[in-house]
Structure 1
Amino acid sequence: MGNVSLDKTTKINPTNWLSTSGWQDVVKLSADFSEICDDLNNHIDDWQKWYDLDSPESEDLPCNYSKKLGTFQKLMLLRCFRVDRVYCGVVKYISEIMSDEFITPSNISFDMIHEQSTPTMPVVFILSPGSDPTSELMKLADRYNIENDKFKYLSLGQGQEKHAIELLENAASTGQWLMLQNCHLLLSFTKELEKRLEIIGQAHLDFRLWLTTDPTQNFPIGILQQSLKFPTVGNRDDYIKFIDELPLENSPEVFGLHPNAEIGYFTQAAKEMWSSLIELQPQTAVGSTGTSREDFIDNLGKDILTKIPVEYDLIKVKRTFGLNLSPRAIVLFQELERFNKLIKIMKINLTQLRKAIAGEIGMDSVLESISNSLFNGSLPQVWAKLAPATRKNLGGWMDHFQRRIVQYSNWAGGNEPVVMWLSGLHIPQTYLAALVQMACRKNNWLLDKSLIYTSVSNFSEPSEVEERPEQLQNTIKTPAYTTSNRRNAMGDGLVFEADLETTEHISLWVLQGVCLIMNTD
């Protein structure tokens, strides 16, 4: 999971291309790789060239580290610089240390297909030139003692509709296997077949329906949705040989995508792998520093408690703003009310956890879950439920938490921000709605006819902002999401749509899936 410590290094990152979290990881690794920080500082150009490679895990490391380090140590270094390539690095590591056998996907067999099939789930074979799964299917029937009179097949063509329906009804009721070949030649019947499958009722447990078809856009979507689908090839042995010769990893270009398309995929794959490894690690071991698990959790809990502020006095804050409240002030009150709930539960949880570790009270399931999260450097779920959506680890989340405290404290003191850090709000949509309300009141506009527009500036400090920008032309509405999870089926996660200036047609950016992310992982 990288460096999960709450205490950040004071060493200055000598590069402008290595992320803050990456630099923290490098400094943490310097405890074992004593020269890594100096080597990076003295050979920045060499490290950047390696960093910018598409597949750095397959190339030599700068400063002769490829010869200095073992295979696993190279993975540790790769983890600091290119998280998105760790998954591929692990695959390479397994191949070198064990063998390709442990990373090569197994071939799909007809026995495996049969195990996955059910009486109500047809199996559709997508044919390629010269292919015919009939012989393999007959061999499968022999292995499962399906006699010839219980294995029926029919090649579809003009005038075969009635016969096919009779075979289907009989097979479903008596437990036969039915193979309908070349469905693409009688698409009118496949639409009738779709209806029959919906009303077929309780089929015999041994009933199986096998369909073959050439690729066609007009094949009923209902059958495809409820079926198992498999491609077939002309010569199975040649096919397997061909597959074996293919690379284990496909580049995005194979699918017509930009090389950056795999960054998010491999980054997520690496994080899922780490999560699985963390769950498997011993929960009672003594750390390398000699600190026990309980002492580590207790010290971390104590450290977090010192960073938690007192709850905000909402009555005092409301008195500061007086009676003439603006929509933005109301948003502040709502935000502080939510933030107080988080502060309260964090204090209660950590205080009880420390008492449980000391043996003063019992350790319940909630405290056990929190202790596991703290030990693994992840955010406890009970806190996550009361905070804005995030994918950060505990250390990153605490940085975010403390920045929220600074913004809330300044705002609660009556100093309404000139520039609002939207990512620090629990529900930023309410603040944006408040801006629209205030503009409508000021200009006597109709609320339902008013919209927000945005522009990208070069400002990096609030003090630099003096006036609002002019409205832009040639822009694309770009979704701004809370995290890289984007949004779920209910639309949760979408905050607003930002206007980004572009000289290209907007379809280019829509197809690229361009968006804004308010919080890094």
Structure 2
Amino acid sequence: FFNAVLSVYEALPIKLLLYQLLHIKPIRNAVICVIQGPWAESMMHDAMERGHWVFFQNCHLAPSWMPTLVRLIENINPLKVHENFRLWLTSLPSNKFPVSVLQKGSKMTIEPPRGIKANLQKTYMSLTNDFLSSSTKVFKSLLLSLCLFHGIFTDGNLNICISQLKMFLDEYQDIPYKGLQYTAGEINYGGHVTDDWDRRCLLSVLEDFYCPAVLSSDHVYSASGVYQQIDTKLDIKGYLAYIRGLPINDTPEIFGLHDNANISFAQNEAFALLEAVVRLQPRATSAGGKTLEEEIVAGIVEKIPPPFDVEEVMEKYPVLYEESMNTVLIQEVIRYNKLLEVICLSLRDTVKALKGSVVVSSALELMARSLFNNAVPDMWQGKAYASLKPLASWVSDLLQRINFLQRWISNGIPPAFWISGFFFPQAFLTGTLQNYARRSGTSIDTIGFDFEVLVKSVSEITEIPDTGCYIHGPFLEGARWDNKAGQLTESQLKTSSLRDLCMPYLQDTHTSWSCSVCFCTTGHSTNYVISLELPTRHTQRHWIKRGVALICALDY
């Protein structure tokens, strides 16, 4: 009597349902409603008596009403319900949707087309020859550009953008490119983007598709010419023939990425597959009778050092107005001590739980499962720094961070700071600004950072600079640094561009284009640290589309 539709589209299930209503003659009436508690319940009872269709849309938005829905479905009596009654449910994939409802009904999954070719084909198959023949050449050219852009950023309403494009072209004599870019980039597509760096990337890509150059018949969207503007005199069959000739797998150049992006994409897919395989492997005991979790716990316990002596550190590095790095060190020691305490306590409780000495709680069970799957436990991540590493690499990285702080405590302020070893890098940056502001008598609100990449290695840096500080540790992604030219340049083909950079602050030597690079801890802009200005001969938009970023730590 009912069907469940799982879809990432909001309007598509309604269109499918209305299409069925118009083509199935015995079904005369239908009720389409949004879940509104008692009103939806009474409407469902009425539909069961009269043989109507009921459509409950976006069930994932009403998780509190799902138990009521389960009760209604369980109480359906096939002998008393009208034979024409049908119940339709739509929802995004959600763990709040009742499993029992899915098991009792017919299920249909609707997924978005994957890739630019599939998106273009879907869009143009929904158009008609009358629509294209009645459109101008300018509209056809910009429509193709818009559809290509939609293939890159699918999280937007293409139909609204097409309507707005037609409206702007009909009402304005000159094409309002800025208006088109604003409505598409800031509202229809950018309205779904909450991060400023992601929106900057979206707008940079959109400028390549909403610009006067796309009106040229020989315009190409990619350097290879695979994606290009086509003759506007063609009909729907001509457009579809061109679309069918496009590659099934999208090339990185249409996204503005380097060809090495294919390598990263293949690696990520392989890692995801291997991770799934690891999660499926059965748990077994070793030859000595110990479980794998017990062996992992024993190995970690041997490596983890005791917490720092905070009082000793505060005595050796007291809080001074002249040196903010002392405060930074104390704060870092306190943060790492909290993490070490959680690790030691949880490992001890896990061993007891595995041996049956204590009751296995849900938290300990999740931790044991994480240890078995080589994943960092959630209770550790809640007290730890941002990291995407697996457990083994995460423990090794933690030991390196602790050694960095221990050398700082034993040998004094280092000449070059390993910025990747800080629990909270932003505090270190603020401390650097405070030192400069207090020594120069300048307000901290009026100063900022300048950057210069050094060719020398970290071991060659033995003295602390007079102003600013030296840092090392960030990895460059999406580009490479040319030591001879002293600027940002393209990555070498089939060569990883991830490399350690060493640079000082407060040194301005820019002689060409400067590119603002996002400096983050894990590669996600939500872990943003600071933006860097690096010299380059390309425009900033070029590197934005390349996805260039400095990352504190790798994910392996």
2:17 corresponds to 1:121:
no
Equivalence for 2:431:
434
| Match in the other structure for 2:296 | 300
CA 332–323 in structure 1, closer or farther in 2 if over 3 Å, else same: closer
Aligned to 1:335: 332
1:471 paired residue among 505, 508, 512: 508
Deviation digits for residues 409-437 of structure 1 (CA, Å, limit 9, x no counterpart): 12233611111111111101101110110
Q: CA deviation at 1:450?
A: 0.5
State how 1:105-504 maps to structure 2 within 5 Å.
121=11, 141-143=22-24, 145=26, 217-218=165-166, 248-255=248-255, 257-282=257-282, 284-286=283-285, 290=287, 294-322=290-318, 324=320, 326-413=323-410, 415-466=412-463, 468=465, 470-473=507-510, 474=512, 475-484=514-523, 486-488=524-526, 493-504=527-538
In the other structure, the counterpart of 1:14 is: none
In structure 2, the CA distance between the partners of 1:257 and 1:497, relative to structure 1 (3 Å rule), is closer
Q: Secondary structure at the match of 2:554?
A: coil
Structure 1: which amino acid aligns with 2:397? H
1:117 to partner: Cα distance? 10
User: Could you tell me the TM-score, scaled by structure 1's length?
Assistant: 0.54
Aligned-pair identity in percent equals 24
CA–CA distance in 1 between the matches of 2:8 and 2:426?
47
| Aligned residue-pair number | 333
User: What is the letter of the counterpart of residue 403 of structure 1?
Assistant: Q
The residue type paired with residue 260 of structure 2 is N
Q: CA deviation at 1:337?
A: 0.8
Query: 1:480 touches 1:517 (CA, 8 Å); kept in 2?
Result: yes
Aligned mates of 1:224, 1:506 — CA distance in 2: 22
Counterpart check, 1:511 vs 2:545: yes
> Secondary structure at the residue paired with 2:291?
helix
1:116 Cα shift? Answer: 5.3
Question: CA, structure 1 residues 498+323, in 2 after alignment: closer, same or farther (shift >3 Å)?
Answer: closer
- Structure 2: gaps (5+ residues): 31-52, 56-125, 136-158, 168-182, 192-234, 466-503
- Give how far 1:272 is off: 3.1
Contact 1:124 1:212 in 2 (8 A): no
Q: Determine helix, strand or coil for the equivalent of 2:533.
A: strand
CA deviation after TM superposition for structure 1 residue 247, in Å: 5.4
Residue 273 of structure 1: how far off its partner (Å): 3.0
Matches of 2:328 and 2:520, distance apart in 1: 20
Going from structure 1 to structure 2, the CA distance change for 1:180 and 1:371 (only over 3 Å counts) comes to closer
Cα 1:175–1:213, aligned 2, differ >3 Å: closer, same or farther?
Answer: farther
Task: Select the structure that is richer in strand.
Answer: 2
In structure 2, C-alpha distance between the alignment counterparts of 1:117 and 1:483, rounded to whole Å: 28
The whole-number CA distance in structure 2 between the counterparts of 1:505 and 1:456 is 19
Give 1:265 shift: 3.5
- Superposed displacement of residue 339, structure 1: 0.5
Q: CA deviation at 1:225?
A: 11
CA distance in 1 between partners of 2:304 and 2:190 (Å): 51
In the alignment, the residues of structure 2 paired with residue 273 and residue 507 of structure 1 have an alpha-carbon distance, to the nearest angstrom, of 34
Hey, what's the Cα distance between the residues in 2 that align with 1:117 and 1:323?
Answer: 54
Distance in 2 between the 1:329 and 1:510 partners?
37
Q: What amino acid is the match of 1:472?
A: T
Q: Deviations over 1:357-406 (max 9, x none)?
A: 22222221111111111111111111112111111111111111111111
Task: Please tell me the residue identity of whatever aligns with 1:250.
Answer: D
Judging changes above 3 Å, is the alpha-carbon distance between structure 1 residues 117 and 511 closer, same or farther for their aligned structure 2 residues? closer
CA shift for structure 1 position 270 = 3.1
> CA separation in 1, counterparts of 2:6 and 2:359?
47
Alignment of 1:57-68 (within 5 A): none
SS at match of 1:420: strand
Distance (whole Å) between structure 2 residues aligned to residue 116 and residue 413 of structure 1: 59
Q: Aligned pair in 2 of structure 1 residues 512, 297: CA closer, same or farther (>3 Å)?
A: same
Deviation at 1:264, TM superposition (A): 3.7
Q: Work out the CA distance in 2 between the residues paired with 1:411 and 1:440.
A: 23
RMSD over aligned Cα atoms: 4.5
Offset of residue 319 of structure 1: 0.9
- Distance (whole Å) between structure 1 residues aligned to residue 518 and residue 247 of structure 2: 36
Q: Distance in 2 between matches of 1:291 and 1:143?
A: 68
Helix, strand or coil at the partner of 1:217: helix
Secondary structure, in 3 states, of the residue corresponding to 2:357?
Answer: coil
Partner Cα distance (1:355, 1:138) in 2: 61
Is residue 377–residue 395 contact of structure 1 (8 Å, CA) maintained in 2? yes
Answer whether contact 2:161 2:188 (CA < 8 A) is retained.
Answer: no
Query: CA–CA distance in 2 between the matches of 1:495 and 1:435?
Result: 14
> Residues 251 and 338 (structure 1 numbering): CA distance in 2 closer, same or farther, change over 3 Å?
same
- Give the TM-score taking structure 2 as reference length: 0.51
- Whether the 8 Å CA contact 1:480–1:498 is kept in 2: the answer is yes
Contact 2:416/2:461, CA 8 A, preserved across alignment: no
Residues 272 and 317 of structure 1, relative CA distance in 2, 3 Å threshold: same
Structure 1 Cα separation of the partners of residues 455 and 334 of structure 2: 34
Residue 322 and residue 299 in structure 1: after superposition, are their counterparts in 2 closer, same or farther (change >3 A)? same
**2:257–2:547 Cα contact (<8 Å) kept:** no
* Cα separation, 1, equivalents of 2:318 and 2:327: 12
Task: Find the aligned partners of 1:332 and 1:400 in 2 and give their Cα distance.
Answer: 18
Distance 1:334 1:239 in 2: 62
Task: Give yes or no for contact 1:483–1:518 (8 Å, CA) kept in 2.
Answer: yes
- C-alpha contact (below 8 Å) 2:284/2:291 kept by paired residues: no
Q: CA deviation at 1:216?
A: 6.0
